[in-house]
Amino acid sequence: MFNDWKQEKATAALVAEAQALSERLSQVKPHVLDSQAAHAQFWAAQYLADGKDLYTVMTWPPATVSKFVNATQTRIAALRKARDYDQSDGLTIWLHTARAVTEPRLLPPVREIWQQVQDAGPNATGTLQELLAEAGLPDTPLRRVPDGLGL
C-alpha cells in the first residue's frame, strides 16, 4: 500500500514536471522556443550519429528506455552544472518523451511539448543548421516528431 502511494506520488511529480515544461514553452518568447526546438532536434541528430534513433523511442524496450532516462538525467545535470542551459533544455524534451514510454499519463503534456516544438519559428531552422555544422553532423529536418506520438 505504501509502495503504491509512493509510486503514485512519483508519477504525479513526473506529470507535473512535463506539464510545467509545456506551459513554460507556451509562454516563452519566440527566440527561446526556437532555440529549444533547435536543440531538441540537435540531440536527435547527435544520438543518431551514435546509432540511436530518438524518434523511435516510443518503440524501444522498457529496459533500453530506462537506461536512456538514467543516462539523460546525468547528462542534463552535467550540462546545467556547466551552465549550458540551451543544450540541457533541448535534451530535457527528450527526457520527458522517453518517460512517456513507460508512463502513459505523460503523453498529453509530451504531445503539447512536441506541438510547440513543431510550431517554432523560422529562426529554429537556422539555429539547428548552425549547431549541426559546428558538430559536423548532417543536416536534419526540423519539424520531425517522435514516431507514435500521434501528431
What does the pLDDT read at residue 51?
92
Cβ distance 20 to 113 under 8 Å? no
Which residues are CB-neighbours of 58 under 8 A, at least 6 positions away?
Answer: 97, 100, 101, 146, 147, 148, 149
What does the pLDDT read at residue 99?
94
The domain locations on the chain are 2-135
30-49 and 123-135 helices, crossing angle to 10° = 30
Residue 55's pLDDT band (boundaries 50, 70, 90)?
very high
What does the pLDDT read at residue 142?
66
What does the pLDDT read at residue 9?
78
Average pLDDT in the 2-29 region? 83
All three cell numbers of 2: 505504501
What does the pLDDT read at residue 132?
95
All three cell numbers of 8: 503514485
Q: Which residue has the higher pLDDT, 3 or 74?
A: 74
Q: Around Cβ 149, how many Cβ atoms within 10 Å?
A: 17
Cβ distance 76 to 98 under 8 Å? no
d(CA 22, CA 24): 5
Is the predicted pLDDT of residue 47 greater than 80, yes or no? yes
* Cα distance between the two ends of the chain: 37
